[in-house]
Copies of this chain bind each other. A is one copy, B any other.
């Protein structure tokens, strides 16, 4: 297979610092789009995978699944993109396209395993996929997103993972006018969740362990902010919320939040706490409540989310960093020291 050598940043082994390396990208085939990556967001799951926290990691690993840039080449049969278009690639770069879930726009649940943007068996080139901490990517046009020109390009990058991760459950659980929605945690996911829930027309209540975040919660669009460690404040919200988006990746008590739900309400987990979560039987039986999870979203819904964000002028709050400063960014991310998402200015990779 014809390939092209490009520069990238990656880890040679689990927990190794990231460093410059070269990787191969496949030549542009008939249905492929080649994108020069201009910005790439840093997701907490990049860090988890470099650390092999979930097991089964493949090295060298080039992370990155929030890529935006410009189309620099297209294959003969490409219909949706032309050279010069803004384009993005998120978490998914391929899937079987034949199963009921792929056909139903739920490629993240592909029965033959979704090909993720990095650290995933590559259906096309063999080996494993390399992500967005790199100069360019070659992706089948069906897995490439149009990025609306009106959005700030750097700040739009995190929408490709953080944005769809919160938008998809809001849509699935019918968040909109007349609904009261809780957002648990104000971080990379939570801060975009507040903006999107508000834009969808819901009444948004933010739960945080830090009173210092109240002002920011309201600036982001929250109608109310609640100190989750204060039982008196929490009691006021008993049985009042239709849905709670739980973005917390640390151990936490789900029962407290189940009890804030109305009848038929749902706590939807999008964070990835490493320990098992504990649930008392009565907390779901009373009120026919649910504890559910949600995993990014399909390609069509990601495009819909980008257009929704353009319409409401929603992007992430970001801190721009250089490719060479990635290890420092990871250290700060691990401490939660970022408001609220790092994005790499990929021009730095050229220098």
Contact = CB atoms under 8 A, between A and B. Distances in A.
Contact of A269 (B281, B294, B295): B281
Contact of A279 (B109, B172, B289, B291): B291
A292 to B, nearest CB: 4
Contacts of A293: 281-290
A273 interface: yes
A169 to B, nearest CB: 8
A288 to B, nearest CB: 5
Nearest to A285: B293
A59 interface: no
A351 interface: no
A271 interface: yes
A101 interface: yes
A270 interface: yes
Contacts of A199: none
Contact of A285 (B111, B255, B270): B270
Interface string A252-265: 00010000000100
A282 B271 CA distance: 10
Given A106-B263, A109-B263, A288 B281 contact: no
Interface in A37-75: none
Interface residues of A, number: 35
Contacts of A281: 269, 271-274, 277, 293
A276 interface: yes
B279 A276 contact: yes
A126 interface: no
A267 to B, nearest CB: 10
A178 interface: no
Interface in A104-148: 106, 109, 111
Contacts of A266: 290
25 contacts: A106-B263, A111-B239, A255-B276, A266-B290, A271-B281, A272-B281, A273-B281, A276-B280, A277-B278, A277-B281, A278-B278, A279-B279, A279-B291, A282-B293, A284-B293, A285-B293, A285-B294, A286-B293, A288-B293, A288-B294, A288-B295, A289-B292, A289-B293, A290-B292, A291-B291
Interface of A: 101, 106, 109, 111, 172, 239, 255, 263, 266, 269-274, 276-295
The 9 closest A-B pairs by CB, nearest first: A284-B293, A285-B293, A276-B278, A290-B292, A290-B290, A109-B263, A285-B295, A291-B291, A277-B279
